Structure 1
Amino acid sequence: MTDAPHPPKYEIFDVPAMTNTDNKGFVRPVLEYRETDYGLYMSRTADHTRFSHLESWLLPALGLRANIFHFTEGYRAGQRLYLDVGRFHGPDAAGRWHAVDWYLDLIDVPPHHLRLIDVDELFDACSAGLVTVADAEAAVFAASRALVGAAEHGHRIQDWLDAQAGEPLAWLDRS
């Protein structure tokens, strides 16, 4: 790896304030939050050149954040879900949810199999003391569980996520 490892990325999902604070401290307005027994849904616009909207499901029991980036033309054609692996929890006493990204990501581009990336980043961060061995093990377990779950559902990660939630996860294009 050529770059020094970076610390884990932290985000805050402030449901009462209807904001999302990213790892760089940028606070963005949220259009919709929906809390369920299995997680938190967020929908917000994005001020990014590559995508105009972001939807996310924080799924604490799975150690996953499932995202749909609504890309502008020419960027990541065919990508359906982008899953961050980490620790997701909430709400706290103030009604906020918190996310810690543990580097590993899973990319869903149907009809291809789910792809795991950034394993090197996790191991470099662990070696540098930026994540504990226990957190690194939890990240590998969560990613492995998702890969196996998708495989058991015909390589359709959305079907596995729906089964884990006990109902279909609602997205803007799939209410």
Structure 2
Amino acid sequence: MDNPRYHYVESWLLPELSLRATVYHLRPGHDRTQTHYLDIGDYGPCENKKWRAESHYLHVVARPGRAPELLGIDDLLTAHAAGQFDTARTHQAIERAAAVVDGLAACSHDVDRWLAGQGITLTWL
């Protein structure tokens, strides 16, 4: 990644939630508020030591103590209009994103707390 703000990136694939959870670790001098990017999609193993990741264009940006932002709805609808996503899959992606936003709201916008309620504990470097 060629961005002077970022030191490194970590991601977890969470197929049971149809999510990829990502944290961008920033270099000193940049906003240090930890932000999680939760990408909606289909994730899972496809071969030995290989995983398949298919983004559904929707991203929930979660910052501690702040309402999450849902991004990418315009991209998903453009993909749907172009025939890349059928109506059922488009609705499913929107429903998954809404469930993430609702889940975060019920946990005071705390990603780790929400994931713990799903039986998932992530560790970050």
The two structures have a TM-score, normalised by structure 2, of 0.87
Corresponding pairs, count: 124
Moved more, 58-67 or 74-83: 74-83
Q: Distance in 1 between matches of 2:120 and 2:41?
A: 22
The answer to whether structure 1 residue 137 and structure 2 residue 88 are counterparts is no
1:72, distance to aligned residue in structure 2 (A): 2.9
Bigger helix share? 2
Instruction: Give 1:171's aligned amino acid.
Output: W
Q: Distance in 1 between matches of 2:86 and 2:32?
A: 35
Q: Deviations over 1:24-82 (max 9, x none)?
A: xxxxxxxxxxxxxxxxxxxxxxx422312111111111111110011235656524201
Q: Distance in 2 between matches of 1:76 and 1:137?
A: 35
Consecutive unaligned residues of structure 2, counting only runs of 5 or more, are none
- Percent identical pairs in the alignment equals 34
Which residue of 1 is the match for residue 35 of structure 2?
A: 80
After TM superposition, the runs of 4+ consecutive aligned structure 1 residues lying more than 4 A away are 73-77
Instruction: Give 1:93's aligned amino acid.
Output: E
Q: Deviations over 1:65-100 (max 9, x none)?
A: 11001123565652420111111011x233201101
Consecutive unaligned residues of structure 1, counting only runs of 5 or more, are 1-46
Q: Distance in 2 between matches of 1:74 and 1:133?
A: 44
